[in-house]
Amino acid sequence: MDELKLLNGVKIPSIGLGVFLSNEGEETRNAVKWALQAGYRHIDTAKAYHNETSVGQGVKASGIAREDVFITTKIWNEDVRHHRVREAFFGSLERLDVDYIDLCLIHWPVNGFPEAWSELENLYLEGKIRAIGVSNFHVHHFDELKNTLRILPMVNQIESNPLMNNQKLIDYCQNQSIVVEAYSPFGGTGSKLFENQTLRQIAKNHHKTVANVIIRWCLQRNLVVLPKSVHQKYIESNFQSFDFSLSKDEMEKINSLNTNTRSGADPDNFNF
Alpha helix segments (H runs only) across the chain: 26-38, 52-62, 77-81, 85-96, 113-125, 139-145, 167-174, 197-206, 210-219, 232-238, 248-255
Which residues of the shown chain bind ligand NAP in the complex (CB under 6 A)? 18-21, 44, 107, 135-136, 157, 183-189, 194, 209, 211, 226-231, 234, 237-238, 264
Please indicate whether residue 49 is annotated as part of the active site: yes
**Pairwise CA distance, residues 132 & 120, whole Å:** 7
Q: How far apart are CB 9 and ligand NAP at their closest, in Å?
A: 24
**Amino acid, single-letter form, for residue 190:** G
- Measured from the CB atom, the residue of 98 and 235 that comes closer to ligand NAP is 235
Collect all residues with Cβ–Cβ distance below 8 Å to 158 and sequence separation of at least 6. 135, 136, 137, 166, 169, 170, 180, 181, 182, 183, 267
- With vertex at residue 21, the alpha carbon angle to CA 16 and CA 24, rounded to the nearest 5 degrees, is 95
- Measured from the CB atom, the residue of 147 and 271 that comes closer to ligand NAP is 271
**What pairs with residue 104 in β-bridges?**
73, 132
Exposed / middle / buried, residue 41 (Cβ in 10 Å: 0-12, 13-18, 19+): buried
- Measured from the CB atom, the residue of 189 and 255 that comes closer to ligand NAP is 189
**Pairwise CA distance, residues 130 & 93, whole Å:** 13
- Measured from the CB atom, the residue of 18 and 112 that comes closer to ligand NAP is 18
Q: Which of 49, 124, 172, 234 is catalytic?
A: 49
Q: Are 117 and 129 in contact (CB under 8 A)?
A: no
* Residue 25 Rama label (left phi>0; alpha psi -120 to 50; beta): left
3-class SS of residue 151: coil
- Measured from the CB atom, the residue of 24 and 125 that comes closer to ligand NAP is 24
| Active site (catalytic) residues | 49
